[in-house]
Amino acid sequence: MSETQRHKESVPAMTIGELSGHTSVSRRALRHYETSGLLNSRRADNGYRYFSRSAIARVGRIQEFVAAGFSLEEIRTFPECMLLLDGGAPCAQTLDIQRDRLSTLEARIATLEQRRYRLKALLKAGEAAALSAEERTDSL
């Protein structure tokens, strides 16, 4: 057994409350991550959930993906390497998925910018027509 493995095994597990404290993620959200299959715990005889210390980094990764616009459903389909980034380089699949999402977001932004431009044009035309009608009413 390597020194790293021995160290990980000697680190005590955390309760859901401790994990919540380390990650600033609510217990409810952590339970949801667990039922969604994104987070694993082991149950003790007393019914408590115990999480490994690596769950802190995993929850952090989940939160990063949620903040980037991925749903938990999408995150659940990610390859395991996407949730295990432990200071190392991301796997190729991670980069591909992130590039695809960025491309999708950029397309949505372009569509929204076009809609904004059209709405501004409609608003400007409507305001001009309203002002013209108001001026005609005032001249009577």
pLDDT cut 90: percent of the chain above it: 62
Reported as a single tens digit per residue, the pLDDT across 71-112 is: 999 999 988 888 876 666 778 888 899 999 999 999 999 999
Model pTM above 0.85: no
Would you state the pLDDT for residue 29?
Answer: 97
Closest CA to 77 of 109, 100, 51: 100
Span 121-135, average pLDDT: 87
**pLDDT greater than 80 at residue 63:** yes
Q: Pinpoint the alpha helices (H) of the chain.
A: 3-10, 16-23, 27-35, 54-67, 72-76, 92-139
Among 24-33, 35-44, 67-76, 90-99, the least confident range: 90-99
